[in-house]
Amino acid sequence: MTHKTTQMQPSLTVSSLRNSKVRRKANPENAMVHPQALAALFHEEWHLCAPSDSIHSLLSLNGTLPPETGNMISLQILDLSINRLQGKFPDTVADLVNLKTLSLFNNSFSGEFPKTFGKYSLSLNNFRIAYNSFSGELPQNLCSGFALVEFTAHFNKFTGSLPDCIRKCRELNRVWLEGNQFKGNISLTFGVHPSLDFLNLAHNQFLGTLSPKWGDCTNLTRLELTGNKISGEIPASLGNLLKLVVLNLNSNELSGKIPTEIGKLQQLEQLSLRENHLTGNVPRSIGSLSNLKDLDVSENRLTGKLPVELANCKVLSSLNLSRNGLSDKIPFELGELAELRYFLDISGNAFSGNIPESLSSLTSLQYLNLSHNNLSGNIPGSFSGMISLESVDFSYNKLNGPVPNINVFQKAPSTAFTGNVGLCGEKQGFPQCTSKNSVSHNRKILIEAIVLSFLLLLASVLGVFMFLFWHKRRKRMEEKEATLQKNREFPSYYDNFEMLLWGSAKGRFKFEDLVRATENFNDKYCIGRGGFGSVYKAVLPKDQILAVKRLNKTDSSDTQLTDLKSFDNEIAALTQIRHRNIIKLHGSCSKSGNLYLVYDYAERGSLRGAVYGKEGSLLDWGLRLKIIQGLANALSYLHHDCSPPIVHRDISMNNVLLDAEFEPRLSDFGTAKLLVSGSANWTNIAGSYGYMAPELAFTMKVTEKSDVYSFGVVALEVMIGKHPTEVLSSHFSGAISLDIQDMCLKDILDQRLPPPPPKLEAGVVGVISAALRCTCHFPESRPTMLNVAQKLSSQTQEALFSDPFESINIGMLISLGQYSNP
């Protein structure tokens, strides 16, 4: 095993850093600067610096920061972020009287921050020291000049109260102090800050009440106070924060009613009030929040009926009302929430009556929990159409009749139905349904069938002549006019969709064949919905199966002509991709204001469904290694074999599909972008939470290394059998914690499977080691995907350790160092 070594650059001096070209040569991305060389950077010649001089993010610095740093008396910007600096921050930095920006985030500094810092730096605007291990109290003179604009110190170990001067900094724009142990009265600590855009004080020990004056901070877009000890009522004045996107007050001691003024926040996407002492009703005004995606008011003391107005929140994707005292019937209008795809949890309430059949319309829903209520009657048989369900819980109700005979119900644990004495069915441990159990259910189905047949017959008789002689002719005229209009507006790639012709291994097909196969994209052919649109399964002759993604009309109908040309060019390039581990994109089409993407169909669905669903136990270690190797090969191809390189930017368990042979197919290039080498990187971040690289929170730049991080998360999740939150959280400090390092590899692997057989042990070790390297907090330390793909291929043949598999721990894998930096 060899290790790549780096030599110190003797020419690396402060003067050379003034020239950016020389700096790039002197300090390449893979260089490490020794502590002695670091001291040389801060030479006395900086006494003579021009006022505009600055130090910007010297990548790959390690060691401690020398006291000579304080010699640079003219320095205005000191940016040492995203390095490996450690130890105590020197007191001499307090002497930098002209300092305007101090940026230290993503290092390993520890100890107390200099007590006198800020006393002489009266022009300090930006103070960024997040993701370190600073402790003690912040200096009381931090913002003595009252000029502070950005104040970010999240994920440190600070204690005590915030400096009193914070209250007088009226120009504050961004405050992020999450994950410390700050205390004090929140109303006395902060004043009125008209420019404040972002405030996150989550997971501290702040006390007091929310002052009505927060309503004067009208530029706020995020207000996150989770995990404190804030009491009192939610002030109605928060309804004045018309730009607010996120309001998160979870896990506090708030009481009183949810103010109806919340309904004025038309930009709000996330409203989280979980685990407080709130009383009264769920306000009807919440139904006016047209952009709301996540509503969580669980674990409070709310009562009364659930307002039907919630059905107006058309983009709601997660709804949690559990552990309250809500009563009466479940509104059937909830079935209109077509975008509800993550959670519907109303457990632990007092809902009664039947389960509305309308809930079966939530075909994208993954988790449904109706447990611990007073619900009666049958579980609707129409729930068999909820194809995306992964987990259900109907326990402790008064339900009877048959349990639907579909996989999610049959595979659910028996505890999901405990406390319902009348349930029966084919599920193991349940009594067989008798005529007595099912007579009412069958009668109901018969009556519905008779009524439906009569209505259909009547409608057919009355409408046949109008349809044939009037509507059909009118439809032809409209389509002709629409086609002419489309020809005038869009390039030829989108003309005459009926004539678009594609080919595959099983034959040629036209877009009109897809329209016919899906009955004009009828919902019964929908196999999934997401933030960008819906996916339909189209079965063509000769057993040819395709997947058609229809992008949301709101995303595509207003697209400018120049954007369509760009979209056209990108799709044309992506259709040329040929790789066994990348889902084949046949092409795209525009019809009736919608954009459509046509892909090959993957029989076994998403990797998430395979790992967490019924096939989780079928995914043995051999298949898991095969899947990770295939994904690595796909990304290596995109990054290194495509010209220009392609950055996927949204790699997750949902975007890796499996074919019938469990071969992985990387999908969802509707959001991928071509990244031209040397050009400006993307700044429009759109990825899946839990899979995005941590630097995106600061740099907002997507690179190949962002994909590498996401790959590492997916690889860990496949091997562990759950999201690797604990491992990733420890990365925030730049190093894996000792507790994690001491964990045996065999103990973190998916416990649903037996230990890997000897012939696969080397492969398992290699994958975990590669994944840990890929999820390194520092982008420059992550390997390339070409390197990963090559190493994984070789590791299936050779062992990385001579130690027994049972004795290998995470620390050994981290220290392996088998990859060289790209």
Region 624-631 average pLDDT: 95
Split at pLDDT 50, 70, 90, the class of 672 is: very low
Residue from 650, 659, 707, 803 carrying the catalytic annotation: 650
The DSSP bridge partners found for residue 503 are 508
CA dist 593 and 552 (Å) reads 9
pLDDT > 90? residue 246: yes
Region 458-462 average pLDDT: 65
Please tell me the least confidently modeled range out of 324-333, 451-460, 567-576, 669-678: 669-678
CA dist 419 and 203 (Å) reads 37
Residues 777-796: pLDDT tens digits?
888 888 999 999 988 886 54
Q: Which CATH architecture has domain 611-814?
A: Orthogonal Bundle (1.10)
Q: Is 650 a catalytic residue?
A: yes
Q: At what angle do helices 621-636 and 758-774 cross, to 10 degrees?
A: 40
Q: What is the C-alpha end-to-end distance of the chain, expressed in Å? A: 18
Q: What residue ranges do the domains of the chain occupy?
A: 1-136, 492-600, 611-814
Q: What are the structure tokens assigned to 410, written together?
A: 């049959």
Average pLDDT value over all residues in the chain: 79
Higher per-residue confidence, 126 vs 555: 126
CATH class of 1-136: alpha beta
Contact 20, 47 (CB under 8 A): no
Q: What are the structure tokens assigned to 752, written together?
A: 């649903």
pLDDT > 90? residue 550: no
Q: At what angle do helices 704-720 and 758-774 cross, to 10 degrees?
A: 140
Instruction: Let me know if 752 is exposed, middle or buried by CB neighbors in 10 A (0-12, 13-18, 19+).
Output: exposed
- Known binding site for ATP: residues? 549
Contact 598, 575 (CB under 8 A): no
The DSSP bridge partners found for residue 424 are 402
Higher per-residue confidence, 775 vs 616: 775
Higher per-residue confidence, 773 vs 736: 773
Higher per-residue confidence, 456 vs 206: 206
At residue 726, the pLDDT reads 73
Question: Which residues does 131 contact at the CB level (< 8 Å), separation at least 6?
Answer: 105, 106, 107, 154, 155, 156, 732, 733, 734
At residue 703, the pLDDT reads 87
For the beta carbon of residue 508, count every other beta carbon within 10 angstroms.
Answer: 10
Task: Write the CATH number of the domain with boundaries 492-600.
Answer: 3.30.200.20
At residue 49, the pLDDT reads 42
User: 1-136 with 611-814: one CATH topology?
Assistant: no
Region 729-757 average pLDDT: 74
Split at pLDDT 50, 70, 90, the class of 657 is: very high
At residue 752, the pLDDT reads 86
**What is the reported pTM?**
0.60
Please tell me the least confidently modeled range out of 234-243, 441-450, 626-635, 694-703: 441-450
Region 91-109 average pLDDT: 91
DSSP of 341-369: -SEEE--SSEEEEEPPGGGGG-TT--EEE
- Nearest CA to 772 out of 803, 726, 822 is that of 726
pLDDT > 80? residue 629: yes
